[in-house]
Amino acid sequence: MRLLIVGHMEGHIATAGRIATQRGAKVSHIGSVEGALNALRNGQGADLVMCDVVMDIAQLIESLKNERIIVPVVACGIGTDAGAAVRAIRSGAKEYVPLPPDADLIAAVLQAVAEEDATFIARDPSMQPVMQIAERIAGSDASILITGESGTGKEVMAHYIHRKSRRANANFVSLNCAAIPDNLLESELFGHEKGAFTGAVARRVGKFEEANGGTLLLDEISEMDLRLQAKLLRAIQEREIDRVGGTTPIKVDIRLLATSNRDLEAEVRAKRFREDLYYRLNVVSLHLPPLRDRLADIVPLAEHFARKYAAANGLPDRPLAPATLGLLQSHHWRGNVRELENTMHRAVLMARSNQIEAEAVMLSGQGLVPEASSPVAMATQAAAGRSSMSEQHVGVVGGLVGRTVADVERDLIIDTLQHCLGNRTHAANILGISIRTLRNKLKLYSESGVPVPPSGEAERAVS
């Protein structure tokens, strides 16, 4: 993990850096906010920024936001100045760490950032062929396409492959192609020169250069615009890129990984994804099965998340009661590992005894038909409900008459988002639309004064 420390903090800066280094972090130190911004613009990269509260944290966070440099910021300061801590948090800092530094607290902050990269739990027999292929090809430089439903752990698998590769000591850089507007994605990938477009306040190194010597993950690559796909193909073929507004090609040495929750062969047939790019990416393919097909992984994953969120919330580690295990194993997990993680986080907070009882487990989607339902079960359900279906249909249609399609669509999207606890990716998957389409609609709703549920807390935890 890469830690960037900003500020002086008297002699405590060396202590904090030493503790972080002992915990496995790669630590760099810069004395000013502008110096830190320049380092990040020029591709130094960081997984976490720790900034002295005497620095202008508000300016740092605002600049990071405006320049789309995504990195969490933790504030730290000497003593226990409650006012400084409050100001830092209000400015957007994720946490406040008092100095002199406590080794366990520093370790906890580092672990919270690196937690998702630490392990890939795969004990179910259906995962063994996947893990064997991953182990076999991790040491090569072959491009890998990782597919699977939303929430199955595609990004975690990408981290796993990087750690097993010969580039493990170099940078791992990821970019969510669905989260960046089309007109900005080229700059995020290839970088830009100062003044190349409105808002380009300084030269910025893109993800290709930042990952030079290491691994670049393009998450949800199926959401990339066709025009940009052509430029990406050239970059992969030639191993060189052009910054936006630049005049000199730049050589890069990367190992490329990509993920998609869509059927890319179907996207190719529909002319929404370039066939030549698909074959460039798909040197090796790894498909992660949904959690409902990985029953032996449910309990170890649940226990892992229970320990994780107990520690994160300062709560005792509680075992899962037998009834809880049965409940978890019988659920259909449309949201896969991400849904299980959210469920266990809630259960840890709701548990009141020395075990996590079934009453603490609040499952979502109980009224939805499991995707893995057998044809016999579905036929039985259909026969049982056929007598009342026409009455229900009349009632539903009667409730829609007089409303516009746009109004009905809006309510469906908002209700689905609330059901998914604000998780945009999960909601888009259920609705059958792209994450970009969902975000655009939510932006329109918000601008028109419609309350939109905030993003779920585990939105980026698993991909």
Q: What pLDDT, in 10s, does the model give residues 258-279?
A: 999 999 999 999 999 999 999 9
Q: 144-158, 301-315, 368-382 — which is least confidently predicted?
A: 368-382
Q: Which amino acid, 437?
A: T
Torsion of CA 305, 309, 310, 311, to 10 degrees: 110
Residue 166 has pLDDT above 70, yes or no: yes
83-93 pLDDT, tens digit each:
777 888 888 88
SS3 state at 220:
coil
Contact 185, 325 (CB under 8 A): no
What does the pLDDT average to over 365-374? 47
Q: What is the pLDDT of residue 271?
A: 94
pLDDT band with cut points at 50, 70 and 90 for residue 241:
very high
With beta carbons less than 8 A apart as the criterion, state whether 420 and 456 touch: yes
CA 313, 421, 306, 357 torsion-angle sign: positive
- Closest CA relative to residue 318, chosen from 286, 361, 288: 361
Least confident of 35-49, 111-125, 171-185: 111-125
Q: How confident is the model at residue 79 (pLDDT cuts 50, 70, 90)?
A: low
Taking the CA atoms of 197, 214, 5 and 105 in sequence, report the sign of the dihedral they define.
positive
Q: Which of 189-193, 233-237, 348-352, 361-365 has the lowest mean pLDDT?
A: 361-365
233 close to 276: Cβ distance less than 8 angstroms:
yes
pLDDT of residue 26: 81
Q: How far is CA 111 from the centre of its chain?
A: 16
Residue 119 has a pLDDT of 67
The confidence band for 386, taking pLDDT boundaries of 50, 70 and 90, is: very low
The full set of domains in the chain, from first to last, is 2-117 (3.40.50.2300), 125-287 (3.40.50.300), 292-360 (1.10.8.60), 375-447 (1.10.10.60)
What percent of the chain is predicted at pLDDT more than 90? 40
Q: What is the DSSP letter of 31?
A: S
Question: Which has the minimum average pLDDT: 52-56, 98-102, 177-181, 383-387?
Answer: 383-387
- pLDDT above 80: residue 380: no
User: Residue 390's pLDDT band (boundaries 50, 70, 90)?
Assistant: very low
What mean pLDDT is predicted for residues 38-52?
Answer: 84
Residue 51 CA to residue 4 CA, distance in Å, equals 8
229-to-109, 182, 223 alpha-carbon distances in Å? 37, 11, 10
Tens digits of residue pLDDT in 310-346: 887 778 899 999 999 999 999 999 999 999 999 999 9
Closest listed residue to residue 312, CA positions, set 458, 423, 172: 458
How far is Cα 36 from Cα 42, in angstroms, rounded to an integer?
A: 10
Q: Tell me: pLDDT of 25 over 70.
A: yes
Give the tokens for residue 434.
Answer: 């792209």
pLDDT tens per residue across span 194-216: 888 877 878 888 999 999 999 99
**CB 51 within 8 Å of CB 76:** yes
pLDDT, residue 329, reads 92
Torsion sign (Cα): 146, 148, 150, 152: negative
Question: Distance between alpha carbon 425 and the CA centroid of its chain, in Å?
Answer: 9
Is the pLDDT reported for residue 101 higher than 80? no
What is the pLDDT, as a whole number, of residue 99?
Answer: 77
Distance in angstroms (rounded) separating the CA atoms of residues 453 and 191: 33
Length of the chain in residues, anyone? 463
Band of residue 460 on the pLDDT scale cut at 50, 70, 90 = very low
- What is the spatial distance between Cα 233 and Cα 276, in angstroms, rounded to a whole number? 8
Instruction: Classify residue 68 by burial, with Cβ atoms within 10 Å: 0-12, 13-18, 19+.
Output: middle
| Range with lowest mean pLDDT among 77-81, 217-221, 354-358, 395-399 | 395-399
- The answer to whether residue 373 scores a pLDDT higher than 50 is no
The answer to whether the CB of 388 falls within 8 A of the CB of 377 is no
> CB pairs under 8 A, 24+ apart, for 246-249?
246/191, 246/192, 246/193, 246/196
Tell me which of 5-19, 129-143, 337-351, 449-463 is least confident: 449-463
Six-digit token string for 451: 């309350």
Which one has a higher pLDDT value, 142 or 364? 142
